[in-house]
Structure 1
Amino acid sequence: MKTFFPDLPLNSGFYRTFEISAPANSIVSAQWPVAVTRFLMPFEKIMNAIFEIWSKILPERAIACSFNLEYLLTGGYDRRQEEKPIFMSYDWLPGGWGGRNGKDGCNVTTACFGTGLMAQPVEGQERVNPILTTRFEINTDSAGPGKWRGGVGVQKTSVLLEADKTVISYICDRERAVVWGIEGGLPSMPHGLTLRRTGTQQDDWLGSVFSDVALNEGDIFSRPTAGGGGFGDPLQRDPDQVKEDVIDEYVSVERARKDYGVVLETIDKDLCEYAVDVAATEKERETIRASRHGWARTDPNEVAKMFQAGDVDTLDVIRKYAVILDWKTGELLPNSTAQFREMFQKRTVAHWS
């Protein structure tokens, strides 16, 4: 409520004005012995649903969907510590909040329940755990495109050092129900962890929920967090703002063209110097406007084949064709796609000119 009424004091009297209806045997009132993850995954979906309701009541304060919190646990025997060799690493990452009416979403921010709960310092993690962080940076292209883009997420990559009998477990969400945009905005990207075994060059997609996967010394594991969904038609975003996003490495040159229809000339990549090609941008945006309704109706089976052949990437599949796949095999997930397309039509396509 503070999101929409920031000046109201929160006290017991405030909450007495609300009557909560939580139907039994539903996701908001699970009954024994239904398996649950306590409050970790459902509550963020509930909060985003509430945000969307209030966005219709107070459109001037509307906000798109935000990322979901994720948890990574790694445990085993640390050979560096003779007296206390058992270790347990508990790690979480920030991500992006949804684009807002008149403002971009907040970048690299804690989940909606954990105000002030930011990323743990890797120096402290490395001191107590045999895990080296080799990459921790802005996740380019993670923000959902829009007139007001979502906030960006992060990418973190780590390698297991001197450890034995180590396992890794992960719980997250939004691998299939990808963070959505509103008022014509586009979605973000799927969550999930990849694992590269030592001595190989292949990344194995493990997804967003798994437990007790064995790790060996030298194994590399990496996961992104999604950005927030976009607000408003991305073709209405000021090309100069898109250029600034590219300079800040929030958006790549390729996705600037694909998602925003903005064609940039690279003057000096090392110095982050770019120029908007105005004529090419106008032409690209006309092409996207004329084609995008049809793209969103493309046969999902054909999209799956294009993905498996390497003709389109994950962001094309989600943002252009509104299709959900098994991101490891490229196999079509028909039920998830049907649900995602229904959402995409309502929140995005219906608002395009």
Structure 2
Amino acid sequence: MTDTSPKVGLIDLQIMWNRLIAVVGEQAQVLIRTAFSPIVRECGDISAGIFDLKGRMLAQAVTGTPGHVNSMAEAVKHFIRHFPIETMKEGDAYITNDPWMGTGHLNDFVITTPAFHKGKLVGLFSCTSHLMDIGGLGNGPEASDVYMEGLYIPMLKLIDQGRVNETLMAMIRANTRLPVDTEGDTYSLAACNDVGVKALSAMMQEFGIDSLDPLAEHIIEKSRAAVLAEVAKLPKGSWHHAMTVDGYDHPLTLEATLTISDSGIHVDYSGTSEMVRRGINVPISYTTAYTVFGLGCVVASDIPNNAGSLAPLTVSAPLGSVLNAPKPAPVSSRHVLGQMLPDMVFGCLRQALPDRVPAEGTSCLWNITVRGERRNPGKANPVFALTITTNGGTGGRPGQDGLSATAFPSGVMGTPVEISEIQSPLMFWRKELRPDSGGAGQSRGGLGQIMEIANNDDAPFELLAAFDRIQFPPRGRDGGSDGAPGYVGLASGAVLRGKGLQTIPPGERLVVLTPGGGGLGDPQARSDAKLAADRRNGLVSDEAATRLYGVAQAAE
């Protein structure tokens, strides 16, 4: 096919590139504003992006999680394989939640929509969001295979030239505890893509182009070259790092070897523990997503995320390991290990670039996933199911303290207490920073949180626990102390398991203490002004200031 678009200059291409980023930003905001699930509407657990006809990601919304964005980047290629470009029609939309062709677990729906301009297919929009409930055992690690984890949607056509697949929608509604929310979230995904399609067509009309091909090549080539230029500045060689994590019923080892060469950076996870029988296994797409995000944070933080900037960053893991678990492995809580991988990357890179990486943080989200039945539901759904997003502290950074109660690397925001209490009969009796939880150091680790939650209905509720960093807390570096380990229990004193389905009895309060980030550098080198501010603000107790920082009790 002959390209009839006028030739465009470098400045025009750069303006259009920025415009594409604005288009996908609008796409993402539509998804967030129309979603039913609080984890999307309040916390931003999404991704949105535009792709060329080869399935290459050209731009992503800056709002979104790396696990969604960087795995969705490969998902579109699977859609094209199942639905060839020449068969796509205006008004079509395709859907899947296949963990190995999507974003790693069944709770994430991916919808891809072909974009037409003047009757010609010019690109693809894709988006992802986390749905609160898609049936099965729920969003916890209890299942022994993926089929127990909920409704499994293969690559299917959701909308055929504007006509919704009502049979599929009926199947989706019938396989969830929250049919209204799940149906609404599905339509919000399709709607945000439609907005992107219209915005793209308007942009192409404004700039007088009929094809994205020249712009796509410009974006891919410039981004790849920019990353390689940054890689060229780095020392060449290989570095190894290992980490022990809690696992499900026994500790697991993560091992990585990072190699920097002229052609890019490769991370290999040989030596990592084998996959387990519970749902903390990670598909390779999710492993890749968080690994390359960690690399990007250090090596290419100022370069837009797209297929070109991702190309020089590659990942491998032995098939059958916990970081490359094949179907039908249970993967519902794949974030528990997958979100540890930036820390694995940082552990390798600190040997080559010690002044550019932080100490270990909580990393994996401490999502409080709960469900139960309302005593007096009225018009509301008699069943509630909710994921309350929370996290602990990040590790101390070169020249800066870690961030407290911050979800790095996922990037999602914490669920507001008011939203949790509206969506369920639960009440938060306590939610505050956890003093002394940040590891001591010249740069202190970020603090975790203390939460106490009870059921206002004086009824039991279920906790689908998927927590880590309890047995093995975030490690300090260069003389910094470890962060405080996490804890899950009852106010009456009973200790709960970090993973698995457990029932909170009526009248009891669930107590959750999230971990603190590791400290960076010798605590004795911390500035007096920063330590005084920590004590004044209640972040570090007098006892800890004396024990860890060597400050006299009477000192301010």
| Aligned 8 A contact 1:77 1:163 in 2 | no
Instruction: State how 1:216-295 maps to structure 2 within 5 Å.
Output: 216=506, 218-265=507-554, 275-276=555-556
Compared CA separation, residues 232 and 15, structure 1 to 2 (3 A):
same
1:15 aligns with 2:310: yes
In the alignment, residue 92 of structure 1 is paired with which amino acid? T
* Corresponding position of 2:500: 210
1:171 aligns with 2:466: yes
Compared CA separation, residues 171 and 142, structure 1 to 2 (3 A):
same
1:83 corresponds, among 353, 359, 379, to 379
Query: What is the CA distance between 1:33 and its match in structure 2?
Result: 5.9
* Corresponding position of 1:146: 441
1:103 aligns with 2:397: no
* Corresponding position of 2:336: 41
* Corresponding position of 2:479: 184
Query: What is the CA distance between 1:186 and its match in structure 2?
Result: 0.8
* Corresponding position of 2:366: 70
Distance (Å, rounded) in 2 between the aligned partners of 1:121 and 1:244? 27
- Residues 8-40 of structure 1 show CA distances to partners (whole Å, capped at 9, x for unaligned) of 232212222133221222222124565544521
Distance (Å, rounded) in 2 between the aligned partners of 1:37 and 1:144? 30
In the alignment, residue 215 of structure 1 is paired with which amino acid? P
Structure 1 residues not aligned, in runs of 5+: 197-201, 266-274, 277-353
Instruction: State how 1:121-160 maps to structure 2 within 5 Å.
Output: 121-160=416-455
In the alignment, residue 471 of structure 2 is paired with which amino acid? R
* Corresponding position of 2:260: none
Query: What is the CA distance between 1:61 and its match in structure 2?
Result: 1.3
In the alignment, residue 352 of structure 2 is paired with which amino acid? I
How many corresponding residue pairs? 259
Query: Which stretch has the larger CA shift, 75-84 or 96-105?
Result: 75-84
In the alignment, residue 220 of structure 1 is paired with which amino acid? R
1:26 aligns with 2:321: yes
- Residues 243-285 of structure 1 show CA distances to partners (whole Å, capped at 9, x for unaligned) of 21111111111111111112232xxxxxxxxx34xxxxxxxxx
Query: What is the CA distance between 1:99 and its match in structure 2?
Result: 0.4
State TM-score, norm by structure 2: 0.44
In the alignment, residue 400 of structure 2 is paired with which amino acid? K
Query: What is the CA distance between 1:165 and its match in structure 2?
Result: 5.0
Distance (Å, rounded) in 2 between the aligned partners of 1:241 and 1:124? 34
Query: Which stretch has the larger CA shift, 138-147 or 80-89?
Result: 80-89
Identity of aligned residues (%): 28
Query: What is the CA distance between 1:66 and its match in structure 2?
Result: 1.1
Distance (Å, rounded) in 1 between the aligned partners of 2:519 and 2:486? 17
Instruction: State how 1:44-59 maps to structure 2 within 5 Å.
Output: 44-59=339-354
In the alignment, residue 335 of structure 2 is paired with which amino acid? L
SS of 2:372 mapped into structure 1: strand
| Aligned 8 A contact 1:239 1:262 in 2 | no
Distance (Å, rounded) in 1 between the aligned partners of 2:329 and 2:423? 37
SS of 1:104 mapped into structure 2: coil
Query: What is the CA distance between 1:235 and its match in structure 2?
Result: 1.9
Query: Which stretch has the larger CA shift, 41-50 or 206-215?
Result: 206-215
- Residues 165-211 of structure 1 show CA distances to partners (whole Å, capped at 9, x for unaligned) of 53222111011121111111111111121113xxxxx3111131131
In the alignment, residue 451 of structure 2 is paired with which amino acid? K
Distance (Å, rounded) in 2 between the aligned partners of 1:214 and 1:136? 18
1:94 corresponds, among 379, 391, 403, to 391
* Corresponding position of 2:297: 3
In the alignment, residue 172 of structure 1 is paired with which amino acid? F
Distance (Å, rounded) in 2 between the aligned partners of 1:214 and 1:133? 14
Compared CA separation, residues 214 and 96, structure 1 to 2 (3 A):
closer
| Aligned 8 A contact 1:152 1:226 in 2 | yes
Compared CA separation, residues 222 and 63, structure 1 to 2 (3 A):
same
- After TM superposition, where is structure 1 displaced by more than 4 Å over at least 4 residues in a row? 32-38
| Aligned 8 A contact 1:160 1:215 in 2 | no
Compared CA separation, residues 231 and 59, structure 1 to 2 (3 A):
same
SS of 2:421 mapped into structure 1: helix
Distance (Å, rounded) in 2 between the aligned partners of 1:183 and 1:166? 43
